[in-house]
Chain A
Amino acid sequence: MATIVVVGAGFAGHTAALYLGHHLGKKHEVVMVNKYDYFGFVPSWVWVGTGRMDPQKTIIPLKPVYDRMHVRFVHGALTEIHPEPEEQFVVVQKADGGTEQVAYDYLIIATGPYLNFDATPGLGPHTGNTYSICTLDHAIQTRDAYLELVQRLEKGDKAKIVIGTGHGTATCQGAAFEYISNIHKDLVRRGLRDRVDLVFFSNEPALGDFGIRGVTARYKGQLVTSAEFVEAVFRDFGIQWEIGRAAKKIEPGRIYWEDMDGNFGETTFDFAMLVPQFKGHGIHIAVKGPNGEDLHDKIFNAGGFVIVDGIYGLPYERLERNPDAWPSVYQNPWYPNIFAAGIAFAPPGPISVPHTTPNGTKIAPAPPRTGMISGIIGRIVALNVIDLVKKGRMTHDERMTEMFAACVASVGDSLWDGSAVILVVHPVVPDFRRYPNEGGRDLFVTHMEMGLSGAWMKFLIHHTFMYKFKGLPGWRIIPE
């Protein structure tokens, strides 16, 4: 009997646990370790953050799902990995205060991002300066602050709202884009839009970059870039933008930034939601050998992300021309029974063109590995572990340079007059060898549009995915 331990019940880990439980749960032991006892549907937290969705509608208690799927649930956080063949176990700091050693034959690390607010002094909800929608608690806190601001606006006040990224190497610009679009729509609905200046503040080199080097797609018969498309949307919504900026320091009501030319400046705000830099949770996890030796560098890189089967260290000019540098099976090269999925795996480099200012500040959006990408990687890793347990060899692989992804960024939540921007990309990471066009993507599949159908799509995604993640009958036919 094999024991498979999955750490982290986000999109990647929870997807992996569902597949593992379904295929192996009855004959083998599948263990999920997660620091929360619920799964959170992160894409809907933009609606929580504007007060348009009850937080309870975005979470699923994990224990009943795992009981049904034959997965043992351990409520706690991973603190140590002992990966050497003679003693393979992890140490979990349990939520009830104790610790537990869990032995494994296969380990899947899907711990998601560590929100590194400290990389930007003054950033984050704990400082009271800026807000975040990256966790459910943060989204609720942001909602309360936003609704308080709305009350002031109703009394006649004016305000400046800044939404975007809080670090030069932050990612998740798509979430910031969706949040500012929802704020815009909510203020229009309340009749308060004319009292607010809305500003999108981002480290992207161009609008619509989204950390994936932007998108070029056919729209109404002509080739349009996501930069042109998002610019048109912002122009239509009356949203201003400040891009190519790295937030260096936050003080109450003020962002101190540096731009790509090395100029320094300030942007003021009354309310700000800024996404922090992401690190991997590996920065807090000890990796020890049988004699207590430190093996951290064999599993995690300096950023705390898990080293897998990618080609690391290539300069960007070579990386962008080498699609095979991206990992295909997400397996650690030192310990073949350790895998990573979702944000936890270390990408070989950025997808967007990186930039260093004359002062040495890096302004380079990190590659997004959230949502659909996480789910797909979770499935690939789980199916390979199932293969290894049953057949002794892996049969699944998919690089981000081969992966298809769809992203729906809502503008409000109404099914009658709502809207959404829909981005369909194939592949996620441009492959200029296979698609020798300007964007490095399949122009037949890659698609960009906006309209009410997007709002329906977002509604459909929320409900079908919440169904899937409950592991209810037929969950496997819903694609990741």
Chain B
Amino acid sequence: MSTQANSPTFEITARDKFWMNCKLYQLWRFILLNLKILKAVDQSKRS
């Protein structure tokens, strides 16, 4: 079924876009994401 929803429940706002390209904030997200992924890899069944 083709759908182009008329009433979006979630939108990317101008404020979101600012944070998505804010270098300092994104550096923080990058570090955090890498730590999260490494932790998840470590906690998975990898042995």
Contacts and interface: CB of A to CB of B under 8 A. Distances in A.
Contacts of A424: 33, 36-37, 40
B20 A450 contact: yes
Contacts, number: 95
Interface string A216-232: 00000000100011011
A240 interface: yes
Nearest to B38: A479
Contacts of B2: 241-245, 259
Contacts of A242: 2
A445 B11 CA distance: 23
A404 B36 contact: no
Q: Which residue of A235, A259, A260, A379 has the most chain B CB atoms within 10 A of its CB atom?
A: A235
A155 B41 CA distance: 50
A445 B40 contact: yes
Interface string B18-41: 011111001101100110111011
A453 interface: yes
Contacts of A419: 20-21
A59 interface: no
Interface string A178-190: 0000000000000
B38 to A, nearest CB: 7
Nearest to A265: B2
Interface stretch (A101-109, A307-315, A344-352, A394-402): A394-402
Nearest to B11: A232
B30 A456 contact: yes
Contact of B21 (A241, A402, A451): A451
B30 A453 contact: yes
Contacts of B27: 453
A14 interface: no
Contacts of A389: none
Contacts of B22: 452
Given A235-B8, A260-B1, A449-B29, A398 B45 contact: yes
Interface residues of A, number: 43
A402 B41 CA distance: 11
B20 A235 contact: no
B12 A233 contact: yes
A261 B37 contact: no
A474 to B, nearest CB: 15
Contacts of A397: 45
Contacts of A240: 4
A382 to B, nearest CB: 13
B29 A232 contact: no
Interface in A376-427: 376, 379, 395-398, 402-404, 406, 417, 419, 422, 424, 426
Given A224-B10, A453-B33, A241 B44 contact: no
B47 A417 contact: no
A111 B30 CA distance: 34
Contacts of B9: 228
A236 interface: yes
A479 B39 CA distance: 11
Contact of A228 (B8, B26, B38, B46): B8
Contacts of B30: 453, 456-457
A376 B19 CA distance: 33
A28 interface: no
B3 A445 contact: no
A158 interface: no
B33 A457 contact: yes
A62 B44 CA distance: 30
Contacts of B11: 232, 235-236
From A245, A395, A426, A451, name the one whose CB has the most chain B CB atoms within 10 angstroms: A451
Nearest to A419: B20
A254 interface: no
Contact of A452 (B5, B8, B10, B21): B21
A241 B40 CA distance: 33
A447 interface: yes
A406 B46 CA distance: 15
Given A398-B45, A479-B46, A243 B20 contact: no
Nearest to A237: B12
Interface string A295-329: 00000000000000000000000000000000000
Given A229-B10, A241-B2, A404-B44, 8 more contacts: A242-B2, A402-B45, A403-B44, A417-B21, A419-B21, A452-B21, A453-B30, A479-B46
7 contacts: A236-B12, A241-B2, A404-B43, A424-B40, A449-B29, A451-B26, A452-B20
Report, nearest first, the 7 A-B pairs whose CB atoms are least far apart.
A453-B30, A451-B20, A228-B10, A244-B1, A452-B26, A453-B29, A453-B26
